[in-house]
Each structure stands twice: as structure tokens, then as C-alpha cells.
């Protein structure tokens, strides 16, 4: 199990044509028909909120301080229950963790803040890494998420060194460097300006109307607010400094949410092809669950941040209980799933179902590794298309064998 190799460019049972969205769209009918209406999306988002899969952080000021304290206690417990390592190979001590939790300055009332760039969210107020093994550099266990430019959050506490703020946002909670967020009095600008959605995996904001002076990176699903336009760019309202707007190229955005059609879902999803894997959004990259969150955000769908919560979104198609007495798991999954709107999950991973080919189910997913029948570890570290046979014959089993949940966004 210690052998480690880079994965081949083409994974088993795949071909180069499969990286095109139209390889899969060709198998579907009515690809430009709306398959989820805006009214259905509003209902879905409401149910996701009612299930506490996302946070109602703007409307519960009175309880958000206590929620923050509970989360910090939870983080402390999870980080002190097992042996973890620092980047230099030393074992993390409880005293080191405890020191970061001491003297937290709790706010009397939560304050609304907004991010001024793509920023990391951490479980502890530090840039130091924590790993399960001394050489597991790809998985910094303190990296919880990354918030895109313009993300609203409620700040409830400050670290003792005054460099970090603890905040709760729509899909996660953690520590953010103080320099990367700013207080804001209200979010009225969202209703007073037309919505623009970033539709490319990575785009840029600029400081000048000609879009030559780079300001920052923005990712798919980032919400921007229209102020004006020229021939190549939209002027974007800057809620932190309204007198200094940003500019974004028209070709990289959509005015309002995209219509939820098969064509749009697959075209948006396959823009992520070959994007590097990043645990918890490390280095601005994405992991398996962030892919789904960013993808569906361009349609106005609010997805939870982690795969476990995403596995409880929409309607359940399959669970280990569902399969009792049934022999063909793959056939059952396919018969009950909708391409582009269904996802398969097992512990630690989630995948978007994209269709069938040669009687095999295929998924699009951001994958770090898999094992072959000789238990050799293959490092994939990117967004791929694969069938469910990966891992077949290994000690941990194939992806198909490991799937424990399947859900769909259509009720």
C-alpha cells in the first residue's frame, strides 16, 4: 500500500472524446429545455436551509455567538483526539493547540463583514499545517474552505494576536485573516444592482475599464453587481470602496443565473476538466465537493460545502438500506439517476453522474487518488471522467462497491 505512482493521462475504460461535454450530451434529449425552474430552485434552497445543510447566518444574530462557541469547541475536540504532525515532522501537542484557543476576544454582537479577495478559511487561527502523516502535504487538516471575493459572513470573535477573525458564512465557518475581510453595514447593494455571475472556472477582476490592470482572481459562481458597461467589460460595484469599482470581461460572466438546462450544466461542469485537486480549496484549487458547489451556484442552487452534507441534499435515490435484496447495484443507480443532476457518494468522496457508455456508469469528479488490484496508489490530483471500476480488486474495493449514497436535485 506504500507504492505511489502518477496516474495515466487516460484512466481505465476512458477515451479522449469523453472530456467533451458533447460526448455525453449526445446521449440526452432536449438538451436546451429547462429541467429545473427558478421556482423549483427556490424550493430546493429552502429545504436545504431547513435541513440545516447550509447556514442561515444573516437572520439569527442572537444565537450565532453560541453557535460559534460550539463550533470552536468541536474543532478543538477533533484536533486533540488523534495524533497529528506539523510540516517539520514534529507531533502536534495539545498545548500548541490550546494556546491558539486561549484569550479569544468574543464580540458582544456579531458583525457583518465581506471578503475582499479569495481567502482561506482555517479551523485554527494559524497558517501552520497539520497532517495525519509527516509527509501528507496535500492534506492540511486545518484548511476548511476558501471564500470567494464578495462573500458575506458574520464575524463573532477575534484571535488573541488580533490577526484572525472567526466567522460564519452560508456554507461553512472558521478563521479568516483580518486583512482579507472588511466590515459592511448592510447588503442593500445586492438588491439595488443587477446580479452578474462568473461563469468561468477562473476569471479576473481589473482596476481599469480596459481590463489591463489586474486586481484579483474570481472563481465560477462568484456574485458581482452591475454598475455599467463598455464594449468589453462590465463595471462592478465595490461594496468596500464604492468610489473604486472593479471591471470584469463580459465573456467571463452571465447577467443573472444561467438557465438550468442539460447543455448549460454539462458545459459548465466540463470547464473544470483537468483542474488541479486542492483539499479544502488549498491554493485556490478545488476538491470533490467544492466542484459541485461552484458548478450549481451559477444556476442559483445553494449547495452545502462538504460531501457528507451534499449527500443529504435533494432527494435520496440510493442508500445501503435501499439495496437490500437487490443484486445489480450499478443498474439500480443508473435507473434512478438523472445525468448532470445526480451525485454518488462514499466516505470521503462525491461524484457527479454524467451518463452511461458501453453499459457502464460514468462520473465527473475531482479525485486525488485511487488504488489498483495490486494496491498501488495512483495519484490523480485533478478533475477527471471515470467509470466506477476504479479501485477494483484493491483492499478497499471499487468505487462502485464503496458507494453508500446517491441523491438527485429534482424532487
3-state secondary structure at position 113? strand
What the block records as the C-alpha cell of 200 is: 468561468
Give the model confidence (pLDDT) of 165-180 as tens digits.
Answer: 999 999 999 999 999 9
Please choose, from the candidates 375, 296, 235, 331, the residue with its C-alpha nearest in 3D space to the C-alpha of residue 48: 296
Q: Which of 211, 236, 255 is the last residue of a domain?
A: 255
Place of cell 475581510: 181
Question: Which pLDDT score is estimated for 1?
Answer: 46
Q: Are 371 and 396 in contact (CB under 8 A)?
A: yes
Q: Are 176 and 147 in contact (CB under 8 A)?
A: yes
What the block records as the C-alpha cell of 409 is: 436535485
Give the model confidence (pLDDT) of 251-294 as tens digits.
Answer: 999 999 999 999 999 999 999 999 999 999 999 999 999 999 99
- CATH number, domain containing residue 16: 3.90.1720.10
Phi then psi for 13, rounded to 5 degrees? Answer: 65, 25
What the block records as the C-alpha cell of 78 is: 477533533
Average pLDDT of the chain, as a whole number:
94
Give the model confidence (pLDDT) of 321-378 as tens digits.
Answer: 766 555 689 999 999 999 999 999 999 999 999 999 999 999 999 999 999 999 999 9
pTM value is: 0.96
- Do 155 and 264 lie in one domain? The reply is no
Percent of the chain with pLDDT over 70: 97
Lowest average pLDDT, out of 1-10, 42-51, 235-244, 310-319, goes to 1-10
Beta bridge partners of residue 366, listed in sequence order = 383
For 67-163, strand residue ranges (E) read 105-115, 119-122, 143-147, 152-158
Percent of the chain with pLDDT over 90: 87
Place of cell 462538504: 306
Q: Mapped to the 3 state alphabet, what secondary structure does 237-249 carry?
A: CCCCCCCCCEEEE
Place of cell 457583518: 112
Strands 105-115, 152-158: pairing kind? antiparallel
Residue 188 lies in a domain: no
Residue 189 lies in a domain: no
Give the model confidence (pLDDT) of 182-206 as tens digits.
Answer: 999 878 888 878 999 999 999 999 9
Give the model confidence (pLDDT) of 42-76 as tens digits.
Answer: 999 999 999 999 999 987 667 899 999 999 999 99
DSSP state of 372: -
- CATH number, domain containing residue 202: 2.30.30.40
> Max CA-CA distance within the chain?
65
Given pLDDT bands bounded at 50, 70 and 90, which one contains residue 396? very high
- Do 395 and 344 lie in one domain? The reply is yes
Q: Are 258 and 200 in contact (CB under 8 A)?
A: no
Q: Which of 162, 183, 204 is the last residue of a domain?
A: 183
- Do 357 and 311 lie in one domain? The reply is yes
What the block records as the C-alpha cell of 65 is: 455567538
Given pLDDT bands bounded at 50, 70 and 90, which one contains residue 151? very high
- Do 248 and 147 lie in one domain? The reply is no
State the Cα–Cα distance between residues 176 and 167, nearest whole angstrom: 7
Give the model confidence (pLDDT) of 80-90 as tens digits.
Answer: 999 999 988 89
- Do 233 and 285 lie in one domain? The reply is no
Containing structural domain, residue 17: 4-53+260-408
Amino acid at each position: 500500500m506504500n507504492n505511489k505512482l502518477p496516474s495515466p493521462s487516460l484512466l481505465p475504460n476512458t477515451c479522449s472524446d469523453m472530456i467533451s461535454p458533447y460526448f455525453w450530451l449526445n446521449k440526452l434529449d432536449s438538451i436546451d429545455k429547462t429541467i429545473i425552474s427558478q421556482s423549483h430552485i427556490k424550493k430546493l434552497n429552502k429545504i436545504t436551509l431547513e435541513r440545516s445543510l447550509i447556514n442561515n447566518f444573516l437572520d439569527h444574530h442572537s444565537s450565532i455567538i453560541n453557535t460559534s462557541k460550539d463550533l470552536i469547541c468541536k474543532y478543538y475536540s477533533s484536533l486533540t483526539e488523534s495524533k497529528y504532525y506539523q510540516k517539520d515532522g514534529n507531533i502536534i501537542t495539545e498545548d500548541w493547540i490550546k494556546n491558539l484557543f486561549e484569550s479569544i476576544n468574543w464580540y458582544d454582537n456579531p458583525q457583518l463583514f465581506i471578503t475582499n479577495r479569495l481567502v482561506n478559511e482555517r479551523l485554527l487561527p494559524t497558517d501552520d499545517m497539520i497532517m495525519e502523516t509527516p509527509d501528507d502535504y496535500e492534506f492540511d487538516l486545518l484548511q476548511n474552505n476558501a471564500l470567494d471575493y464578495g462573500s458575506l459572513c458574520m464575524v463573532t470573535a477575534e484571535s488573541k494576536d488580533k490577526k484572525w477573525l472567526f466567522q460564519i458564512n452560508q456554507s461553512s465557518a472558521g478563521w479568516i485573516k483580518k486583512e482579507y475581510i472588511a466590515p459592511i453595514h448592510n447588503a442593500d447593494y445586492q438588491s439595488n444592482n443587477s446580479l452578474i455571475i462568473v461563469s468561468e472556472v477562473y476569471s479576473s477582476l481589473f482596476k481599469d475599464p480596459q481590463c489591463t490592470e489586474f486586481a484579483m482572481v474570481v472563481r465560477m459562481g462568484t456574485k458581482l453587481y452591475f454598475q455599467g458597461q463598455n464594449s468589453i467589460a462590465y463595471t462592478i460595484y465595490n461594496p468596500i470602496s464604492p468610489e473604486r469599482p472593479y471591471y470584469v470581461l463580459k465573456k467571463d460572466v452571465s447577467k443573472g443565473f444561467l438557465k438550468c438546462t442539460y447543455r448549460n450544466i454539462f458545459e459548465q461542469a466540463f470547464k473544470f476538466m483537468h483542474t488541479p485537486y486542492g483539499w479544502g480549496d488549498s491554493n485556490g484549487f478545488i476538491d470533490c465537493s467544492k466542484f459541485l458547489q461552484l458548478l450549481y451556484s451559477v444556476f442559483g442552487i445553494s449547495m452545502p460545502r462538504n460531501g457528507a452534507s451534499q449527500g443529504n441534499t435533494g432527494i435520496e435515490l440510493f442508500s445501503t438500506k435501499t439495496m437490500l435484496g437487490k443484486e445489480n447495484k450499478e443498474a439500480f443507480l443508473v435507473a434512478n439517476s438523472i445525468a448532470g443532476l445526480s451525485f454518488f457518494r462514499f466516505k470521503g468522496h462525491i461524484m457527479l453522474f454524467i451518463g452511461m457508455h458501453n453499459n457502464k456508469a460514468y462520473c465527473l469528479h475531482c479525485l486525488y487518488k485511487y488504488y489498483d488490484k495490486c494496491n498501488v496508489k495512483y495519484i490523480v490530483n485533478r478533475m477527471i471522467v471515470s467509470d466506477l471500476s476504479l479501485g477494483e480488486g484493491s483492499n478497499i474495493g471499487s468505487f462502485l462497491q464503496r458507494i453508500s449514497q446517491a441523491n438527485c436535485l429534482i424532487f
